[in-house]
Amino acid sequence: MATSRGVLRFLESRKNLTGSACGIAGLALTFAGVAGPYWPVVVAGLYGAGALVAPPERPAPPGFPDPSEQLGEVREDFGRLRDYLAEVDVPPVAAARLTQLDELLTALLDPGWAAELLAQDPEALHALGRAVRQDVPEAVDTYARTRWWTRIAPGQEQPERHLERQLTLVHDELTGIVGTLRETEARRQESHTRYLEERNP
């Protein structure tokens, strides 16, 4: 089975197709009377020459999703994260921070010009996906598990403090993304102003 696939791959390769085209040209020369009695050598030589000059085969690059598709996937994961958070009991301060994160993520992920700008920034898109898929759910899940152990063995540092600190750090990172996107738009606006000024001295 593997051998037949290898033969088929060779028959469809650029080297074989180019060599075959040159070999056919050799046959045409033979019928024209140019090759004479050495026509097999001419045909084989032209085939070999064509196979040598043919461009090498290269595998097609993997088809990774484009930024807009990645953003759509993050948006879907954010919906799943919301469903998860709706079932988790967290202290009031952490709940307030989660509400702020929800509002910030909603504003960034809502379809529109902000999402289009975000899709053009791979680092910001990666950070946003990491916050939705890893940072927030891990912080909340770790809190829920640690709180259970703390109830059995009290006296340790309260897990609420770690949760609040983690959510604050995630919020700060996302706020930084907003600032970066705002600066990008500001530079675009300044560039357009300079263009108009240069066009109308």
- pLDDT at site 58: 64
Mean pLDDT of 102-108: 90
| Token pair for 61 | 């690059």
167 in the same domain as 191: yes
Does residue 5 register a pLDDT over 70? no
121 in the same domain as 86: yes
Dist CA 20 CA 51 (whole Å)? 8
Whole-structure pTM value? 0.63
Q: What is the pLDDT of residues 141-164, one digit of tens each?
A: 998 888 766 665 666 668 788 999
Instruction: Give the best-scoring range by mean pLDDT among 1-5, 6-10, 46-50, 66-70.
Output: 66-70
Residue 60 covered by a domain:
no
Percent of the chain whose predicted confidence (pLDDT) is above 70: 61
Residues spanned by the domain of 107? 67-199
3-state helix, strand, coil in the chain (%, to 5): 80, 0, 20
| Token pair for 102 | 């929800």
120 in the same domain as 189: yes
Q: What is the pLDDT of residues 160-188, one digit of tens each?
A: 889 999 999 999 999 998 888 888 888 88
Burial of 150 (0-12, 13-18, 19+ CB in 10 A): middle
94 in the same domain as 40: no
46 in the same domain as 88: no
